[in-house]
Chains A and B, each alone.
Chain A
Amino acid sequence: MTGVWRTLLKRIADRPTSISALSSVLAIVSGLLVGLVIMLVVNPSDALPGFVTILFGAFNAGMTSLGNTLYFGVPIVLTGLSVAFAFRTGLFNIGATGQLTMGAFTAVYIGVNWGFLGPLHWVVALLGGMLAGAVWGSIPGFLKAFRNVHEVVASIMLNYVAMYMNTMLIKQLIYNQQYARALSPQPSALIPTWFLDDIFVGSSINAGIFIAIALTVVLHIILNYTVFGYELKSVGFNKDAAKYAGMNEKRNVVLSMTISGALSGAAGAIMFLVAGRHLEPVNQLLQEGFTGIAIALLGLSAPIGVFLAGIFYGNLEQGGYYLQLFDFMPEIIDIIIAVIIYFSALSLFLQKFVAGYIRRRTGEEVELQEGSEIK
Chain B
Amino acid sequence: MEHVIEMEHITKEFPGIKANDDVEFRLRPQEIHALLGENGAGKSTLMSVLFGLYEPDEGRIRVRGTDVKIRNPSDANRLGIGMVHQHFKLVHNFTVAENIVLGYEDTRWGLLRFDSAVERIESLSRQYKLRVDPYAKIEDISVGQQQRVEILKMLYRDADILIFDEPTASLTPQEIDELMKILRRLAEEGKSIVLITHKLREIQQVADRCTILRKGKCVGTVDVASTTSDELAEKMVGRKVVFEVEKTPARPAETVLRVENLSVHNPLTESDVVKNVSFEVCRGQILCVAGIEGNGQSELIHGIVGLKPASGGRVTVNGVEVTDYSIRERSLSGISHVPEDRQRHGLVLDYTLENNLILNQYFEPKFQSRGFFRFDEVRRHAVRLIDEYDVRTSHGPLSLARSMSGGNQQKAILGREIDRSSDLLIAVQPTRGLDVGAIEFIHKQIIAERDKGKAVLLVSLELDEVMTLSDHIVVMFEGENVGEFDPAVVTEHELGLYMSGSKRKGAA
Question: Which A residues contact B (CB, under 8 angstroms)?
Answer: 16, 225-228, 230-231, 233-234, 237-238, 240-248, 365-367, 369-371
Contacts and interface: CB of A to CB of B under 8 A. Distances in A.
A247 B339 CA distance: 16
Contact of B345 (A228, A230, A244): A244
A246 B328 contact: yes
A233 B400 CA distance: 15
Contact of B372 (A225, A231, A238, A366): A225
A244 B307 contact: yes
Nearest to B332: A246
A367 B352 CA distance: 12
B371 A226 contact: yes
A228 B362 CA distance: 10
Interface string B1-39: 000000000000111100000000000000000000000
A244 B337 contact: yes
Contact of A370 (B15, B307, B327, B402): B402
A119 B264 CA distance: 60
B355 A230 contact: yes
Contacts of B13: 365
A241 B15 contact: no
B347 interface: yes
Nearest to A226: B371
B: contact size bracket: 20 to 34
26 contacts: A227-B362, A227-B371, A228-B371, A230-B362, A230-B373, A231-B362, A233-B351, A234-B348, A238-B347, A238-B349, A241-B359, A243-B307, A244-B307, A244-B337, A244-B339, A244-B346, A245-B327, A245-B359, A246-B326, A246-B330, A247-B328, A248-B328, A365-B13, A365-B14, A369-B350, A370-B350
B355 A241 contact: no
Given A226-B373, A244-B346, 14 more contacts: A227-B372, A228-B371, A230-B373, A233-B351, A237-B349, A238-B348, A240-B344, A240-B345, A243-B345, A246-B326, A365-B13, A365-B16, A370-B350, A371-B350
A296 B172 CA distance: 50
Interface string B338-377: 0100001111111100010001101100001001110000
B335 to A, nearest CB: 10
Contacts of A245: 327, 359-360
A243 B327 contact: yes
A48 B274 CA distance: 72
The 8 closest A-B pairs by CB, nearest first: A246-B328, A365-B15, A244-B345, A246-B327, A371-B350, A245-B360, A237-B350, A245-B359
B403 interface: yes
DSSP majority for the B interface?
mixed
B360 to A, nearest CB: 4
B373 A227 contact: yes
B331 interface: yes
Contacts of A230: 355, 362, 373
Contacts of A371: 350
A248 B326 CA distance: 9
Nearest to A365: B15
A238 B373 contact: no
A364 to B, nearest CB: 9
Contact of A367 (B345, B347, B372, B400): B400
Nearest to B345: A244
A246 B363 CA distance: 11
A367 B371 contact: no
A227 B14 CA distance: 33
B365 to A, nearest CB: 11
Q: Which of A226, A230, A233 has the most B CB atoms < 10 Å from its CB?
A: A230
Interface string B198-218: 000000000000000000000
Contacts of A233: 348, 351
Contacts of A365: 13-16
Contacts of B328: 246-248
A234 B403 CA distance: 18
Contacts of B360: 244-246
Interface in B373-398: 373
A274 B129 CA distance: 81
Interface of B: 13-16, 307, 326-331, 337, 339, 344-351, 355, 359-360, 362-363, 368, 371-373, 400, 402-403
Nearest to B363: A227
B241 to A, nearest CB: 32
Contacts of A227: 362-363, 368, 371-373
B348 A241 contact: yes
A123 B130 CA distance: 76
A230 B371 CA distance: 10
A367 B307 contact: no
Contacts of A369: 350, 400
Contacts of A241: 344-348, 359
A249 to B, nearest CB: 10
Contacts of B362: 227, 230-231
B14 to A, nearest CB: 6
B351 A237 contact: yes
B264 to A, nearest CB: 16
Nearest to B326: A246
A225 B349 CA distance: 19
A234 B359 contact: yes
B190 to A, nearest CB: 41
A242 B346 CA distance: 9
Contacts of B368: 227
Nearest to A244: B345
Nearest to B403: A367
Nearest to A246: B328
Contacts of A248: 326, 328
Given A234-B359, A366-B15, A16 B400 contact: yes
A238 B344 contact: yes
A167 B360 CA distance: 48
B15 A367 contact: yes
B14 A237 contact: no
B188 to A, nearest CB: 43
A243 B349 CA distance: 15
Nearest to A238: B348
A234 B346 contact: no
B372 A226 contact: yes
A230 B326 CA distance: 20
Contacts of B330: 246
A16 B13 CA distance: 18
A248 B327 CA distance: 9
B329 to A, nearest CB: 8
A34 B36 CA distance: 53
Contacts of B359: 234, 241, 244-245
A133 B329 CA distance: 34
A365 B349 CA distance: 19
Contacts of B339: 244
Contacts of B403: 367
A240 B350 CA distance: 13
A237 B356 CA distance: 12
A165 to B, nearest CB: 36
Contacts of B349: 237-238
B432 to A, nearest CB: 17
Nearest to B394: A367
Contacts of A240: 344-345
B461 to A, nearest CB: 20
Contacts of B347: 238, 241
A16 B400 CA distance: 10
A74 to B, nearest CB: 28
Nearest to A355: B15
A225 B373 contact: yes
A366 B400 CA distance: 12
A246 B339 CA distance: 13
Nearest to B305: A244
